[in-house]
Amino acid sequence: MIDWSGYLTLILEGALVTLQLTVMGSALALVMAFLAGLGRLSRFFIVRALATTYIEFFRGTSIFVQLFWVYFVLPFAGLTLTPLQAGVLALGLNVGAYAAEVVRGAVKAVGREQTEACVALNLSRYQRMRHVILPQALPLMLPTFCNNAIELLKGTAVVSLISLTDLTFQAQVVRAQTGNTLIPFTTILILYFAMAWSISIGMRWLERRMSRSLDGVRT
């Protein structure tokens, strides 16, 4: 008989790494999404060009290649990252590129008329964005952000390729040591699903909270 408790601890440790990657990767992705998404709407050509280049490049190349590049190639340029740093950087930049288009789309979906009202009220460009456009665009972004966060969570599995001990890596370890495939992979299947499910629930809660005043049910 195999004593599974030690192996379970191993897998849970992996879950913690996956969680870390997801949270930090999402944080970076969020920052990049707003930088590049709003950058694409800038009135300055150079800002638009930079944002577009970033988005097209990271959407257009594979996350595997990006990760290997960050981890194995950057050291040649004098920048050596830990596997966790490399993982967060690659995942955050990759998913951020997709999410940037979500930001842009949502901002554009808030009608022109709102901007015109802001001009008539003499709000500055920053004030328009901060107080009028973004508060209305955010609830529009959330459902797709939820998709992006789940994609990122599932994408974290690729970091096992640069020897980061995430959920998938640990399952491989357990499989190699016990010879059992069913139990470790079923366990991580359930754990991935549970994490994705909690992201969904959290996002749905946020969405309800944010769109409440727009539906007119504010007291």
Partner 1 sequence: MASPIIRIDNIVKRYGPLTVLDGLSMDVMPGEKLALIGPSGSGKTTILRILMTLETISGGHIEVDGEQLYHMKKGADLAPADEAHLHRMRKKIGMVFQHFNLFPHKCVLDNVTLAPILTQGVKKADAEKRAMELLDMVGMADKAKSVPAQLSGGQKQRVAIARALALSPKIMLFDEVTSALDPELVEEVLNVMKRLAAESDMTMLLVTHEMGFASDFADRVLFFDRGKIVEEGKPQEIFRNPRQERTQTFLRKIIAAGHRV
Residues that bind partner 1 (CB under 8 A): 113-114, 116-117, 119-125, 127, 131-132, 135-136, 213-216, 218
Asked if residue 93 lies in contact with residue 58, where contact means CB atoms within 8 angstroms, the answer is yes
Shortest distance, position 86 Cβ to partner 1, whole Å: 40
The residue (of 31 and 119) whose beta carbon lies closer to partner 1 is 119
The residue (of 49 and 119) whose beta carbon lies closer to partner 1 is 119
Phi, psi (deg, nearest 5) at residue 111: -60, 155
What is the sign, positive or negative, of the torsion defined by CA atoms of 89, 90, 93, 98?
negative
Shortest distance, position 219 Cβ to partner 1, whole Å: 8
The residue (of 5 and 122) whose beta carbon lies closer to partner 1 is 122
Distance (Å, rounded) from C-alpha 176 to C-alpha 90?
Answer: 28
Shortest distance, position 217 Cβ to partner 1, whole Å: 9
Shortest distance, position 121 Cβ to partner 1, whole Å: 4
Shortest distance, position 44 Cβ to partner 1, whole Å: 13
CA distances to 140, 187, 194, 195 from 190, rounded to whole Å, are 30, 5, 6, 9
Q: Which amino acid is at 139?
A: P
Shortest distance, position 90 Cβ to partner 1, whole Å: 36
The residue (of 80 and 127) whose beta carbon lies closer to partner 1 is 127
Output DSSP code: residue 81: -
The residue (of 3 and 215) whose beta carbon lies closer to partner 1 is 215
**Contacts by 211-214, CB closer than 8 A, 24 or more apart:** 211/139, 214/136, 214/139
The residue (of 70 and 133) whose beta carbon lies closer to partner 1 is 133
Asked if residue 137 lies in contact with residue 107, where contact means CB atoms within 8 angstroms, the answer is yes
